[in-house]
C-alpha cells in the first residue's frame, strides 16, 4: 500500500484535486482501520509533495476526513440539512497544530467540492447506489467524524420535543372523548422518548422504593430489571438527565460505599451494573463515572477481603520507628489474618457506614471494633465473591469494542475516578491509574483520529498527577507514562506527522512544572530508556525529547544537568543519523538543546563539549546529511510549479525562481550560528574564545556552500550583533561603568572583553569577508558601516580597533576592489573623518569654569551650608568640562590615527586608485586640515585652553600636528596625481581640477603661515608716516613656526614643480605671498633657504624675462 501511494505525484495539486486523483484508482474498504491507514499515508504523501502547504501531515490527515464528510453531506440526497461554508470552516478550527487553516482556503475548498462531487472508482451500479444512500457507514465514518465535527440536528430535535408532547397529549384527549379506544402500533422509535419524559419519575419511584424496602427475590429481580431497561432506553435515546438519575440510583443501591450494609440484593445490583457496562457502554457517556466509581469501590473491598495491604501503605511518608513498632503490635482481624496483613485501622474504617458521595469507603472515624462487626464485615466481603474480578476486568478489556465516541467518554470518566482515588487524604489508591495504562494499551491500535482524542484526555491527566505533591504517586504516574510511551513507540510514525511529539508532551510539561528533583531525574531516565530501546522508531518524538533535555540544561541541580548532558552526548555520538532521518526540523531542536547546555553554570567542560558538538552538527549540516535518505527519494524534478499554499512559507529565499538542494535547509544554519554568536557575551573567557573559534571555523570551512542571501542573513543576524554591545554600551570615557559590567566571578571584565574578544571577532569578520569576497562583495558597504561605527565611537580604544580592522580589510582585499568599491571605501573614510572632527565649541558657550579650578574641590568643612547649592552646580560644570575636553582629545587622537591609516592604504594601492577616488580622499583630509586650522587660529579658544592646562595636557596650538599632517597628505595626493596620471586623469576636466586644487592648496598654506608669522607683531604709526616698530616673536610662536616650516618648504617645492607656464599664470597670486615670506620672521632657516632657491631658480628668471 505504501508503495502504491508513493507512486502518486501530488506536487502542485490542490488538496481536493489530490483526493480525487487518489480515490479514482480504487474503492475505499469498509473497515475503519484500513481507511485510517490509507488516509494516513495519503496525508504523508501529499505533505511530502507539497511541504509548504500545511505545518504537518496531521493537518492534512484530519482535513482529508473532513473533506470526505463534506462530499457525502453535499451530494447525498438523504441529507436534508446541508452543511454550509461557515459550518465547514467552524468544524475545521484549530486543526493546524492548534491554529486555524486560513478561512479563504477552506471556503475555496468547500465551493469546489460542493460544485464537483468526489467520486470513487465504480464497481457496479448497485454498489454505487448503495454508497449514495449510506456513504458514511460504508466508509466507517459515522462515529469517527463525530469526534472532530459536532453532530448537527440533535439540538433541533430537543427544541421540538415539548411541542410534540403537547401535540400528542391533545390527540390522547381527543381520543379519550370517544366511546371506543383503539390501539395504534408505534411506527417510530422516537415515540419512546416522549413516553419516558412523561413517566420517568413514577418509574424511578416504582423501582426504587420496593428495592429499598423489600427482600423478596422476585420483587428485587423485577426492580433491577426495570432499572436495567430504563437505563438502556434513556441511554439509547440520549436522554442524559434521565439516564444519569437511573444510573446514580442504581449505583447507590450497590452499597459499595457502605460495605457494612451489603446484602444479597446489593450484590445483585452490582451484577446489573456490570451487565449495563457490557451491553450499553456505547451510550452511557458521562454516566460512566458512576459505573467506574462502583468498580473502584468493589475492587477496594475485594483487596481488603484478601487481606492485601492498602495502596496507602506504599504512598505514605516514612514513619519513625516508634510508630512502626506500635503499628506492628496492633490487633489484626482474625479471619483476615489468614489471607494477609490487613490492619485494624483500615478494616475498622470499612465497618463504619459512609455516604455514596464520599471519596473513599466508609469514614475515618476511629473507635473500638466489636467481634460482631468484624464477623458481619467478613460475611459481606465473602458475599462479594459472587461477582468475580474477571467480570469487573472485562469492563476494561472490552473497552476496545466501544465506539469512537464512547471510548473517549469512558477515558474521561476513568480519569475522574482515578483523580478522586489519588486525592484521598487518608487512603490514596492507584487502581484506576493502573487501569488507565491497561485501557491505553488495549485501545492504542485505534485509528489516529480517535487515539489523538483519547490521548488529549490522558495527557492532561498525567500532567496533573505527575505534578502531585505526593512524590510516590507522581513517580508511579511517570513510570506508567513511560510504559505507555515504550508501547506507543513500537508503532511506526510516517514522515511529517507530529503525534509522537504530542504523545510525549506530558514529560516536557511535568519536567518544567515539577518542583521535585526526583521526578525530573526520573523523566530524564525515562527518555533515555526510550532512546536506547526505541531509537529506530523515534521520529517527531525527538522534539519533545530535546525539549526535556533543554529544560534540564537550565535546572538548578547539578546532577540533573550532568545526567541530561551525558544522555545528550550519547545521542549525538551514536544516534545522530536517526535525529534527522525523516524530520529535518529536529536538527534545529537538537541545536537549541546544545546551545542551552553551552550556558551551563555548573561545569565549564559541559559548555565546551556542547560547543564542540555544535561544530559536529555544522559539519553534518554542510555535508547534507539531514534527512537525505528520505528526502532524496522524493526529489523528482526541479523547477516545478509550487503548490498554492494556505500559508506563507517560513523561509525559502529563491534565486531566479529555483530552489537548489543546498538552499533547501538554509535556515537550519541560523539557530546554530546565532547560538555561537550569543556566546561571545559569555562572562567566561574560555567559552567566548571557543565559541568564536568554532563560529568562524564553521563559516570559513563551509561558507562556500552559502548563497548571497544566506550570507546577508549571516552578517546581519549572526556576525554584526556580536558588536552591538560594543557599539552601544562601552563607556565613552574608557573607565569602568556599572552599566557595562561583564562579570566573571563577581569582578569586572570589560577590558578583557574589549581587547580580547571584540578585537579578535572584528579581525575574524574582516578575514571572513576577504575569504569569500567573490560571493559577499555586495555586502562591502555593510562591513564598512560596521567599521565606521567603531571609528565614530568617542572611545579611543574602540576607534583604534575599528581603524586597525579597516586597514586589515584594505590590506587583504584592496587588490580585489573595483573602482566602484574603492569609491565606497573612500566615502566611508570621509564619513568617519567628518564624524570625528574635534569639537571645542563648549568653550565658546561661556559655561566653562573660570578662576582657579584647582580649588574647586575644597573640603566640605570649609564651606558654608548656604553655598552647597552653588558648589554642586560648580561640580557639575567641572564634570561637564572634563567630559567635553576628554571627548575633544579622543577625537583629535582618532583623527591622527585615521589620516595615518589613509596614508598607509594609499601607499599600498596608489596605482589602483582612480583620480576621482583620490580627490574624494583629498576633500576629506582637506576638511580636517581646515577644521584644525580654525581651532589653532582661534586666539580666544587657545587662551581658555591655557587656563586649563593641567586638565587638558594639550599643546598650544592644540591641533597643530593634525593640521600639518593633513595638509602634507593633501599636497602629496595632488602632486602624485600629476606625476602618476592615472587613467581617468587624462580627462581634461580632471587635469584642470587637480592643477587648480594644487594652486589653491599652496596659496592657502602660505597665507596661513604668513598670518601666523605676523599675528604677534605690533606696528605703530606716527603722524601719517608709516614707520613700523616690530616686536620680536616669542619662543612659543617660534616653536609653532618651526613646526610649520617643513610644510611650507614642501609647498614652495610644489610651486617650483608646477612649471613655468603654471607659475606665470598664477604669479599674481603667489608673488605677494612670497614677498610677505621675505619680510616676516621664521622659526627656522629652512623656509628662508627654500624661498631663496625658488626665487633664484624659478620666479627670478621669470620676472627678468617679462621685464
Chain centroid, CA 638 distance in Å: 31
3-state SS, one letter per residue, for 970-1027: HHHHHHHHHHHCCHHHHCHHHHHHHHHHHHHHHHHHHHHHHHHHHCCCCCCCECCECC
Q: How far apart are CA 874 and CA 868, in angstroms?
A: 10
DSSP state, residue 668: G
- Find the distance separating the first CA and the last CA of the chain, reported in whole Å: 112
Selection from 285, 282, 291, 235 nearest residue 409 by Cα: 285
Q: How far apart are CA 792 and CA 798, in angstroms?
A: 9
State the catalytic residues.
31
B/e letters for 799-833, b = 16+ CB within 10 Å, e = fewer, are: bbbbbbbbbbbbeebbeebeeebbbbbbbbbbbbb
B/e letters for 258-276, b = 16+ CB within 10 Å, e = fewer, are: bbbebeebbbbbbebbbeb
**How many degrees, rounded to 5, is the angle at CA 703 between CA 701 and CA 706?**
150
Task: Give Cα separations from 969 to 586, 830, 965, 1051 (angstroms).
Answer: 59, 14, 6, 12
Q: How many CB atoms lie within 10 A of CB 321?
A: 7
Q: Is the peptide bond before 957 cis (omega within 30 degrees of 0)?
A: yes
- The region that residue 82 occupies, defined by phi over 0 for left and psi between -120 and 50 for alpha, beta otherwise, is beta
Task: Give Cα separations from 428 to 148, 179, 312, 313 (angstroms).
Answer: 35, 66, 5, 9
CB 260 within 8 A of CB 353: yes
Q: How far apart are CA 363 and CA 348, in angstroms?
A: 9
Chain centroid, CA 615 distance in Å: 21
Beta pairing partners, 748: 743
Selection from 818, 805, 725 nearest residue 760 by Cα: 805
Residues 6+ apart with CB under 8 A from 802: 762, 787, 788, 789, 790, 791, 793
Task: Give Cα separations from 503 to 403, 474, 498, 525, 680 (angstroms).
Answer: 22, 18, 9, 17, 37
3-state SS, one letter per residue, for 361-387: CCCCCCCCCCHHHHHHHHHHHHHHHHC
CB 64 within 8 A of CB 42: yes
Q: How far apart are CA 788 and CA 822, in angstroms?
A: 15
Chain centroid, CA 347 distance in Å: 56
Q: How many CB atoms lie within 10 A of CB 486?
A: 14
User: Phi and psi of 749, rounded to 5°?
Assistant: -130, 30
| All three cell numbers of 768 | 571572513
Task: Give Cα separations from 605 to 88, 601, 696 (angstroms).
Answer: 56, 10, 21
Q: How far apart are CA 195 and CA 391, in angstroms?
A: 34
Q: How many residues does the chain have?
A: 1107
| All three cell numbers of 685 | 573567557
DSSP state, residue 658: B
Count CA within 13 A, CB hemisphere, residue 756: 18
Amino acid at each position: 500500500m505504501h508503495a502504491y501511494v508513493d507512486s502518486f505525484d501530488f506536487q502542485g495539486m490542490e488538496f481536493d484535486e489530490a483526493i480525487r486523483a487518489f480515490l479514482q484508482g480504487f474503492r475505499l474498504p469498509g473497515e475503519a482501520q484500513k481507511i485510517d491507514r490509507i488516509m494516513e499515508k495519503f496525508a504523508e504523501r501529499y505533505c511530502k509533495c507539497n511541504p509548504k502547504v500545511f505545518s504537518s501531515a496531521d493537518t492534512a490527515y484530519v482535513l482529508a476526513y473532513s473533506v470526505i464528510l463534506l462530499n457525502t453531506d453535499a451530494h447525498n440526497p438523504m441529507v436534508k440539512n446541508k452543511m454550509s461554508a461557515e459550518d465547514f470552516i467552524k468544524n475545521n478550527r484549530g486543526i493546524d497544530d492548534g491554529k486555524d487553516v486560513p478561512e479563504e482556503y477552506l471556503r475555496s475548498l468547500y465551493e469546489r467540492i460542493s460544485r464537483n462531487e468526489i467520486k470513487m472508482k465504480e464497481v457496479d451500479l448497485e454498489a454505487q447506489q448503495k454508497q449514495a444512500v449510506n456513504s458514511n457507514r460504508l466508509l466507517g465514518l459515522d462515529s469517527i467524524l463525530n469526534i472532530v465535527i459536532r453532530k448537527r440536528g440533535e439540538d433541533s430535535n430537543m427544541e421540538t420535543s415539548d411541542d410534540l408532547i403537547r401535540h400528542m397529549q391533545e390527540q390522547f384527549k381527543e381520543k379519550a372523548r370517544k366511546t371506543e379506544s383503539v390501539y395504534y402500533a408505534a411506527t417510530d422509535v422516537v415515540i419512546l422518548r416522549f413516553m419516558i419524559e412523561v413517566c420517568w419519575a413514577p418509574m424511578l419511584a416504582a423501582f426504587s422504593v420496593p428495592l429499598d424496602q423489600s427482600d423478596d427475590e422476585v420483587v428485587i429481580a423485577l426492580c433491577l430489571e426495570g432499572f436495567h431497561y430504563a437505563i438502556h432506553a434513556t441511554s439509547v435515546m440520549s436522554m442524559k438527565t434521565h439516564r444519569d438519575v437511573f444510573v446514580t440510583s442504581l449505583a447507590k443501591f450497590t452499597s459499595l460505599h457502605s460495605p457494612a450494609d451489603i446484602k444479597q440484593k446489593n450484590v445483585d445490583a452490582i451484577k446489573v451494573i456490570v451487565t449495563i457496562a457490557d451491553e450499553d457502554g456505547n451510550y452511557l457517556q458521562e454516566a460512566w463515572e458512576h459505573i467506574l466509581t462502583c468498580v473502584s469501590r468493589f475492587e477496594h473491598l475485594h483487596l481488603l477481603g484478601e487481606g492485601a495491604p492498602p495502596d496507602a501503605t506504599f504512598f505514605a511518608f516514612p514513619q519513625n520507628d516508634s510508630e512502626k513498632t506500635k503499628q506492628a503490635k496492633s490487633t489484626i482481624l482474625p479471619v483476615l489474618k489468614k489471607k494477609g496483613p490487613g490492619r485494624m485501622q483500615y478494616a475498622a474504617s470499612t465497618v463504619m457506614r459512609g455516604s455514596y458521595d464520599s471519596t473513599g469507603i466508609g469514614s475515618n472515624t476511629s473507635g473500638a471494633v466489636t467481634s460482631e462487626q468484624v464477623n458481619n464485615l467478613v460475611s459481606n466481603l465473602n458475599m462479594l465473591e459472587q461477582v468475580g474480578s474477571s467480570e469487573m476486568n472485562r469492563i476494561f478489556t472490552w473497552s476496545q469494542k466501544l465506539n469512537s465516541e464512547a471510548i473517549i467518554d469512558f477515558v474521561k470518566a476513568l480519569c475522574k475516578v482515578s483523580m478522586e482515588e489519588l486525592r484521598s487524604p487518608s487512603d490514596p489508591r492507584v487502581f484506576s491509574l493502573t487501569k488507565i495504562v491497561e485501557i491505553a494499551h488495549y485501545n492504542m491500535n485505534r485509528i489516529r483520529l480517535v487515539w489523538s482524542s483519547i490521548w488529549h484526555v490522558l495527557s492532561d491527566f498525567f500532567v496533573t498527577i505527575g505534578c502531585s505533591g505526593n512524590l510516590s504517586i507522581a513517580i508511579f504516574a511517570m513510570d506508567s507514562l513511560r510504559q505507555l510511551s515504550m508501547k506507543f513507540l513500537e508503532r511506526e510514525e510516517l514522515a511529517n506527522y507530529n503525534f509522537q511529539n504530542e504523545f510525549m508532551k506530558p514529560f516536557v510539561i511535568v519536567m518544567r512544572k515539577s518542583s521535585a528533583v526526583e521526578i525530573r531525574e526520573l523523566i530524564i531516565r525515562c527518555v533515555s530508556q526510550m532512546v536506547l530501546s526505541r531509537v529506530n522508531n523515534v521520529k517527531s518524538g525527538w522534539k519533545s525529547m530535546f525539549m526535556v533535555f533543554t529544560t534540564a540544561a537550565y535546572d538548578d541541580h547539578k546532577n540533573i544537568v550532568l545526567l541530561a548532558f551525558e544522555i545528550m552526548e550519547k545521542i549525538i555520538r551514536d544516534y545522530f543519523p536517526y535525529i534527522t532521518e525523516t524530520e529535518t526540523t529536529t536538527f534545529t531542536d537538537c541545536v537549541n538543546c546544545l546551545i542551552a547546555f553551552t550556558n551551563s553554570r555548573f561545569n565549564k567542560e559541559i559548555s565546551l563539549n556542547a560547543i564542540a558538538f555544535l561544530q559536529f552538527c555544522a559539519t553534518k549540516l554542510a555535508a547534507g546529511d539531514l534527512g537525505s535518505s528520505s528526502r532524496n527519494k522524493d526529489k523528482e524534478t526541479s523547477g516545478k510549479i509550487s503548490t498554492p499554499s494556505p500559508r506563507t512559507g517560513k523561509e525559502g529565499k529563491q534565486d531566479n525562481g529555483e530552489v537548489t538542494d543546498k538552499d533547501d535547509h538554509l535556515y537550519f544554519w541560523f539557530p546554530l550560528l546565532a547560538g555561537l554568536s550569543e556566546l561571545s557575551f559569555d562572562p567566561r573567557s574560555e567559552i567566548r574564545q571557543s565559541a568564536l573559534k568554532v563560529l568562524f571555523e564553521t563559516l570559513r570551512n563551509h561558507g562556500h556552500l552559502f548563497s548571497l542571501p544566506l550570507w546577508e542573513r549571516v552578517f546581519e543576524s549572526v556576525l554584526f550583533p556580536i558588536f552591538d554591545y560594543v557599539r552601544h554600551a562601552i563607556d565613552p570615557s574608557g573607565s569602568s561603568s556599572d552599566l557595562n559590567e561583564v562579570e566573571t566571578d563577581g569582578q569586572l571584565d570589560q577590558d578583557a572583553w574589549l581587547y580580547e574578544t571584540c578585537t579578535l571577532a572584528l579581525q575574524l569578520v574582516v578575514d571572513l569577508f576577504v575569504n569569500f569576497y567573490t560571493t559577499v562583495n555586495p555586502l562591502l558597504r555593510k562591513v564598512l558601516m560596521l567599521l565606521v561605527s567603531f571609528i565614530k565611537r568617542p572611545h579611543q580604544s574602540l576607534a583604534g580597533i575599528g581603524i586597525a580592522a579597516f586597514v586589515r580589510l584594505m590590506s587583504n582585499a584592496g587588490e580585489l576592489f573595483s573602482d566602484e568599491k574603492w569609491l565606497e571605501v573612500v566615502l566611508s573614510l570621509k564619513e568617519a573623518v567628518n564624524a570625528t572632527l574635534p569639537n571645542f565649541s563648549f568653550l565658546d558657550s561661556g559655561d566653562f569654569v573660570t578662576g582657579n579650578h584647582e580649588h574647586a574641590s575644597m573640603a566640605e568643612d570649609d564651606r558654608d551650608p548656604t553655598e552647597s547649592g552653588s558648589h554642586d552646580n560648580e561640580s557639575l560644570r567641572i564634570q561637564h568640562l572634563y567630559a567635553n575636553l576628554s571627548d575633544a582629545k579622543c577625537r583629535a587622537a582618532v583623527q591622527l590615527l585615521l589620516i595615518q591609516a589613509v596614508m598607509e592604504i594609499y601607499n599600498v594601492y596608489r596605482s589602483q586608485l582612480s583620480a576621482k577616488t583620490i580627490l574624494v580622499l583629498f576633500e576629506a583630509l582637506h576638511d580636517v586640515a581646515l577644521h584644525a586650522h580654525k581651532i589653532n587660529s582661534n586666539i580666544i579658544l587657545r587662551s581658555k585652553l591655557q587656563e586649563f592646562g593641567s586638565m587638558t595636557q594639550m599643546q598650544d596650538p592644540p591641533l597643530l600636528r593634525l593640521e600639518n599632517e593633513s595638509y602634507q597628505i593633501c599636497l602629496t595626493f595632488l602632486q602624485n596625481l600629476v606625476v602618476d596620471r592615472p587613467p581617468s586623469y587624462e580627462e581634461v576636466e580632471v587635469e584642470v581640477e587637480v592643477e587648480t586644487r594644487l594652486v589653491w592648496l599652496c596659496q592657502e598654506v602660505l597665507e596661513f603661515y604668513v598670518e601666523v608669522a605676523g599675528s604677534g607683531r605690533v606696528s605703530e604709526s606716527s603722524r601719517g608716516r608709516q614707520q613700523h616698530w616690530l616686536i620680536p616673536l616669542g619662543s612659543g610662536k617660534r616653536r609653532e613656526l618651526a613646526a610649520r616650516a617643513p610644510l611650507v618648504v614642501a609647498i614652495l617645492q610644489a610651486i617650483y614643480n608646477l612649471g613655468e607656464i603654471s607659475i606665470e599664470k598664477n604669479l599674481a597670486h603667489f608673488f605677494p605671498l612670497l614677498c610677505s615670506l621675505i619680510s616676516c620672521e621664521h622659526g627656522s632657516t629652512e623656509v628662508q633657504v627654500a624661498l631663496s632657491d625658488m626665487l633664484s631658480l624659478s620666479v627670478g628668471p621669470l620676472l627678468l624675462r617679462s621685464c
